[in-house]
Amino acid sequence: MENEAYIFDLDGTLVNNQAFKKTILELPEILNININPEKFYNEFLKTYYLTVAKRDLIRAFDWEYILKQTCTRIGSSYTPGVFTQRFIKNIDDGFVQLIPEALKTLENLKNRSAKIAILTNGKRIFQERVIKRTNLINFVDILITSDELPKPKPYPEAFDYVCKMLQGMTITFVGDHPFYDIYPAANYCIPNIYWLTDEFPQGDYQLSQLISYISNITWTKYRWKISPTQTALKKKIHVINKLPSLCNRNS
């Protein structure tokens, strides 16, 4: 496996980031906004989805921007930096948990001399802290965040950026998100793709067997119409329900 590389998504694939939603729910009290926290969270999501629908993905993953726009929409004001400070505190306080067997999975891959990269739409100021707090940093060779990408996932430029860094290696991609991870990885023709999900039974599928489900999500949530290539539709997707299955299938 000395010539093999694994690219992982972070949130939802290696970690469960409870700190994020916790931070958004805490903001009405911190900002002195008279609104139910859950309603505020839903307004935040609405702003995020609207921004994605406008194809403005750089701003869509700028949570300070999304919060400023959210507060403006509901007739309130936002104090710059409040989210960043609180989110960092919640990360440091342990509100990010590892996906079961994440460390063991990465350790097994490293023991087989594989190179490990993380490709995330999160920003470095947060994600670097996450991988340190969860000890993932001990197994990760490369961390690529949205603030250093020409364009974030699902754009091909994101995959092009990391694949050039791993040139000459056999690449496996592992992600959980149908729109940001699996569809673009298939369209970019990553050699091996693993989808960590409970939406389908574990097994091997062609993208054509999954595309109806993925298309429905990308349209109803994000108002994007996806256009998989014919090559992508024939691409094999390995569905796994638990991370250890990745090593079991590649042993």
DSSP states along 162-189: HHHHTTTSEEEEEES-IIIIIHHHHHTT
For residue 11, the SS3 value is strand
Half-sphere exposure of 200 (CA within 13 A, CB side): 21
241 Cβ neighbours under 8 A, 6+ residues apart: 196, 197, 198, 201, 202
**Which two three-digit tokens encode residue 169?**
């290696």
pLDDT at 247: 76
pLDDT at 210: 98
Q: What is the pLDDT along the chain (251 residues), one digit of tens a residue?
A: 569 999 999 999 999 999 999 999 999 999 999 999 999 999 999 999 999 999 999 999 999 999 999 999 999 999 999 999 999 999 999 999 999 999 999 999 999 999 999 999 999 999 999 999 999 999 999 999 999 999 999 999 999 999 999 999 999 999 999 999 999 999 998 999 999 999 999 999 999 999 999 999 999 999 999 999 999 999 999 999 999 888 776 65
User: Is residue 68 left, alpha or beta, with left meaning phi > 0 and alpha meaning psi from -120 to 50?
Assistant: alpha
Regarding the domain with residue range 4-17+96-250, which homologous superfamily does it belong to in the CATH classification? HAD superfamily/HAD-like (3.40.50.1000)
- Domain positions in the chain are 4-17+96-250, 18-92
